[in-house]
Amino acid sequence: MENKTKSSIYPLAMTAVMAAVIAVIAPFSIPAWGEVSFTLCTFALYLSPYILGWKRAVAATVVYILLGMVGMPVFSNFKAGLGVLAGPTGGYVLGYVPMVLICGLIIKTFPKNRAIHLGGMVLATAVLYAFGTALFCAQTGSALDHALWVCVIPFIPFDLGKMVIATGLGPILRERLMKANIHPED
């Protein structure tokens, strides 16, 4: 009985810890122009499927969003509430869920191929950009070219750097967790 309790509590606790890590990292940002800021949130999100597996990584991401939705200042620049999700940058926050899902499924499908992991992160981030930019345009009435210059193009080099670091560090973390027999199954 004790072993079953331990095996079910650990993944739940790790999911909560990852949600907390995301919530602690995300508010710290470097303001860019307009509403969008540079953050390390996506770095934590890129690492989460390596640490938790795709299902729990998605769950941790949803918990993070729910924390911000109910008023905890966990979004960029210590913002919180439904207003953030309904505002110009809300699409980027909501887009974290499909981004983590795509990253996680690719990592699960190709567990040893870092090049494919990087390609999956690029694809997942493109989905995040598309979702966030579409809602940004809808909320602000901005033309697509303006939104791309404000919300996407300046962030590409920074996000690519985070992806490269995550694909270097993530498999090492995953392997060590598996060797310690504490990595949850997907």
Domain count for the chain:
1
How far is Cα 61 from Cα 100, in angstroms, rounded to an integer?
Answer: 8
| SS3 (DSSP) at 38 | strand
Specify if 153 maps to a domain: yes
pTM of the predicted structure, to 2 decimals: 0.91
**What's residue 1's pLDDT?**
44
Specify if 16 maps to a domain: yes
CATH number of the domain residue 36 falls in: 1.10.1760.20
Specify if 185 maps to a domain: no
- In terms of Cα–Cα distance, which of 2, 84, 80, 96 is closest to 35? 84
- In terms of Cα–Cα distance, which of 53, 50, 45 is closest to 174? 50
**What's residue 38's pLDDT?**
87
Q: Which residues pair with 30 in a beta bridge?
A: 38
Look up the domain containing 26 and give its range.
2-179
Burial call 33-47: b when 16+ CB within 10 Å, e when fewer: ebbbbbbebbbbbbb
Which parts of the chain sit beneath pLDDT 50? 1-2
Convert the pLDDT of each residue in 52-86 to its tens digit.
999 999 999 999 999 999 999 999 999 999 999 99
**What's residue 68's pLDDT?**
97
Specify if 76 maps to a domain: yes
Confirm if 26 and 41 have CB atoms less than 8 A apart. yes
Specify if 184 maps to a domain: no
Specify if 186 maps to a domain: no
